[in-house]
Structure 1
Amino acid sequence: MLTQTPDAAVKRGRTGAQPSRSLGRKLQRPGAFFALPAAALLAIFFTFPLLSSLWQSFFATSGGVSTFVGLDQYARLFKDPLIAKSLGNAGLILIIQVPLMIGLALGLAYLLNQAWLRFSSGFRLLTFLPAVTTLVAYAVVFRVMLATDGGAINQMIGLVGIAPVDWLNNEVWARVALIGAITWRWTGYNMVIILAGLQAIPAELYEAARIDGAGRWQIFTKVVIPQLRPVLIFTTITSTIGALQLFDENYILTGGGPSDATLTPVLYLYKVGFQHFDFGYASAIAWLLVILTAIVSIIQFRLMREKP
């Protein structure tokens, strides 16, 4: 019977392991090769513009000549009254519209998840349809519907004796119209996400709650809401980011007016950069918005995360 020395066994183990490592490296090469186009596109269309905008925010352009001004563009942000106005408008929309939309989405999702509801698939489709319409198209439709003279909304409320409302030229009603349009557009999108979270809740939890004598409201507050916490965090944070980045709706509906009542940071950035061609200051506004979005998202995540 042949015996194998320890040195031979170690040598054999090394030579036996070598092919597997070489095979692993060979298998990784095609993956890196296929990922290269995506990485190149990400670098060209995301990383480079991002770094370029940061670099441009340190320059001011006058007479076609760019001059390095350091942090002057960021200092200018604190002296610009329109920055404060646009941030206040975005904050007002965030405080009112996001809770309203998430509440409606949660209620619709809970209703459509009931087994007794007939034609639930059709109702889901109808609720989600606004989310697949283009932003420009639906904003134009809302602008026509909200017209002071001859608009469909004023005609409808006129049937019950209410005087026409100047929806788009009054500061208060312009904000109401904007919030209503955004809520109509995005409620169905959030509803689908919350509905998926509802359907992932195990049926055993409902049965255990009923056995313990819990009613519908107790099941909703003690079972459904805790189980939906991660989904609600996700939808709230994404809706918050959308509110801070609002541009299409208020640009088409009101152009930021009246009296800058619907001016948002992104719309102001657009006006500074592409109407006044002050790209350095526009880049500073963009980075301010990035920082604020990150701060608000972190705060929301910490407030809504599950307590240990």
Structure 2
Amino acid sequence: MIFTVYPVISSFILSFQEVRGVEKTFVGLSNYTRLIHDPVFYKSLINTFQILIVQVPIMIFLAILIAVGLNSTLIKAKSLFRIAYFMPAITALVAASIVFMILLDEHFGLVNYLLSLIGLDHIPWLTTPFWAKISVILVMTWRWTGYNMVIFLAGLQNIPADLYEAASIDGAGKVKQFFMITLPQLKPVFIFTVVMSTIGTLQLFDEPFILTHGGPNSATMTITLYLYETGFKFFDFGYASAIAYVLVLITAVISWIQMKLVGDNE
């Protein structure tokens, strides 16, 4: 009640107020109408959706692929691989981001050094808009693929082996079994991971904050990063609260659409 319900109600009331020091003035819907004419808000919204559209499908695809591989009887030392893939999800994000800043440094980074060995030019990973987005996507994919892999692996282990045996008897190969048995049986897990990954990406803050500080030229400015700067850099808490509730609405609508598109009709 203290740490969840009260802040939710308080911030909702705050979104209708203008805060100056300790004084709060009721301003109605002005904070929300201000959003309509805010180009930085639209820029952060576009950036967030660009990252979402690219990163989530890649991450889900890799998670399914790795989970199927680790569920195979051909793989030995499965526990070791599971731990290795899951470790990024529990690694301190600040430490991981600093490592990636070193790896992706334009002049002295290991990645560009390896590219130079095969004759490729250095890539300005963190200093140009396009590559800055790619860098954020790489870090997010590295961090969360293993987390989703564990969820898919749990789903795979709950699929009855009888289904595969029956399919083999009927002459279905491994590829056909994957598309006709594995994917349909994983549908609830797939819905869960897609929705949760979408929500997580819409709340993206840590990676762009540490790696690029929202730059260059606001190319990696996400909604939550803009919310943070509005509230704790410019101390415009009323407007920041309005941004937060618009983000909640956007997240709810997208999650509902995904459930309708991917979920069962009933």
TM-score tier by shorter-chain length is over 0.9
Distance in 2 of aligned mates of 1:100 and 1:307: 26
Q: CA deviation at 1:64?
A: 5.0
Match of 1:218 in 2: 176
CA-CA distance at 1:62 after TM superposition: 3.8
Match of 2:135 among 177, 182, 187: 177
User: Which residue pairs with 2:72 in the alignment?
Assistant: 114
Q: Which amino acid aligns with 1:203?
A: A
Following superposition, the deviation at residue 210 of structure 1 comes to 1.1
1:101-250 → structure 2 map (5 Å cutoff): 101-250=59-208
Instruction: Describe the SS at the equivalent of 1:60.
Output: strand
Task: Please give the alpha-carbon distance, in whole angstroms, between the structure 2 residues aligned to 1:63 and 1:50.
Answer: 21
Identify which range, 207-216 or 51-60, moves more after superposition.
207-216
Alignment partner of 2:250 out of 283, 292, 297: 292
Q: Which residue of 2 aligns with 1:89?
A: 47
SS in 1 for 2:37: coil
Tell me the CA shift for residue 134 of structure 1: 1.2
**C-alpha displacement of 1:91:** 0.6
SS in 1 for 2:2: helix
How many residues align? The count is 266
Q: Tell me how far apart the structure 2 counterparts of residues 178 and 63 of structure 1 sit (CA, whole Å).
A: 35
Distance, in Å, in 2 between the alignment partners of 1:65 and 1:194 is: 50
CA-based RMSD: 1.0
Give the C-alpha shift of residue 103 in structure 1: 0.2
Secondary structure (helix, strand or coil) at the match of 1:166 reads coil
Normalising by structure 2, report the TM-score: 0.98
| In 1: Cα distance, 2:124 partner to 2:50 partner | 20
Secondary structure of the residue that 1:61 maps to in structure 2? strand
**Partner secondary structure for residue 67 of structure 1:** strand
Distance (Å, rounded) in 1 between the aligned partners of 2:252 and 2:24:
30
- Mind listing any 5+ residue stretches in structure 1 that lack a counterpart? 1-42
Q: CA deviation at 1:118?
A: 1.4
Q: Secondary structure at the match of 2:171?
A: coil
Letter in 2 for 1:90: T
Equivalent pairs: percent with the same residue? 52
Deviation at 1:306, TM superposition (A): 2.7
Aligned to 1:267: 225
Q: Secondary structure at the match of 1:44?
A: coil
Cα drift, residue 307 of structure 1: 4.2
Higher mean C-alpha deviation, range 114-123 or range 167-176: 114-123
Structure 2 SS opposite 1:66: strand
Given the two structures, how large is their TM-score scaled by the length of structure 1? Answer: 0.85
Equivalence for 1:21: none
2:260 is matched with: 302
The range that moved more, 63-72 or 177-186, is 63-72
Aligned counterpart, 1:281: 239
